């Protein structure tokens, strides 16, 4: 699964913003522009908080899991578990994949919501002398900020759950030398030493 590209989100924001601006301007030729609900920033703000909390929780679990693996590779004993403390549980790959998909969808939703209200807000900049339009512009600005916060939180969740590249050079550190704490290879058990004779079957001609 490829990570979300910020360029794609920026393009979606600009395209939706332009369409929103054009739609509101066309609407204004036939009547009063539509109103902006005061609760518009709540949905992206709540989603941003939930996704950020999820990212921080996953980051803590992954860090604890990496530290436990590193202690095993280094041959260090595991720290004792204090009373009331739980041992770190490994992260479920299926749960991580669902979180990544949710983050990808949320980042696009945040870009779309920000674009819609940004286009409406730009249209209202020329009408700030009217109290009603000024209040709508303030709500649009807050909603755009909450939508951008949703995009940032979703991208951060994807960053936390990124999969490291797999290849033959993964066991090599940055200086190009192999680590001394590499796991030793396990010998094959229950196998006698020496060579094994090859049984050959010969065809005997019957008399």
Dist. CA 80–CA 67, nearest whole Å: 14
pLDDT in tens, the chain (207 residues): 688 899 999 999 999 999 999 999 888 888 787 888 889 999 999 999 999 999 998 888 887 777 766 666 666 666 555 555 565 666 777 888 899 999 999 999 999 999 999 999 999 888 888 888 889 999 999 999 999 999 999 999 999 888 654 444 444 444 444 444 444 545 445 444 444 454 555 555 444
Residues with Cβ within 8 Å of 64's Cβ and at least 6 positions away in sequence, in order, are 88
Please report the pLDDT score of residue 161 as a whole number.
87
Please report the pLDDT score of residue 159 as a whole number.
92
Does the predicted TM-score (pTM) go above 0.95? no
Dist. CA 102–CA 107, nearest whole Å: 9
Dist. CA 32–CA 99, nearest whole Å: 41
Please report the pLDDT score of residue 181 as a whole number.
46
Dist. CA 78–CA 122, nearest whole Å: 58
Please report the pLDDT score of residue 93 as a whole number.
79
């Amino acid at each position: 699964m490829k990570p979300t590209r910020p360029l794609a989100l920026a393009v979606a924001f600009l395209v939706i913003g332009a369409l929103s601006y054009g739609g509101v301007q066309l609407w204004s030729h036939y009547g009063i522009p539509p109103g902006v609900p005061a609760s518009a920033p709540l949905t992206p703000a709540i989603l941003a908080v939930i996704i950020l909390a999820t990212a921080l929780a996953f980051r803590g679990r992954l860090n604890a899991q990496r530290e436990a693996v590193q202690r095993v590779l280094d041959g260090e004993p595991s720290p004792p578990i204090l009373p009331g403390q739980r041992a770190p549980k490994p992260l479920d790959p299926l749960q991580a994949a669902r979180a990544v998909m949710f983050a990808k969808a949320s980042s696009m939703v945040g870009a779309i919501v920000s674009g819609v209200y940004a286009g409406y807000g730009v249209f209202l900049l020329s009408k700030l002398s009217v109290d009603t339009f000024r209040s709508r512009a303030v709500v649009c600005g807050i909603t755009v900020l909450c939508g951008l916060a949703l995009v940032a939180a979703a991208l951060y969740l994807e960053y936390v759950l990124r999969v490291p590249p797999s290849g033959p050079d993964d066991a090599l550190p940055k200086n190009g030398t192999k680590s001394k704490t590499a796991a030793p290879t396990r010998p094959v058990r229950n196998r006698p030493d020496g060579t094994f004779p090859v049984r050959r079957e010969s065809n005997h001609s019957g008399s």
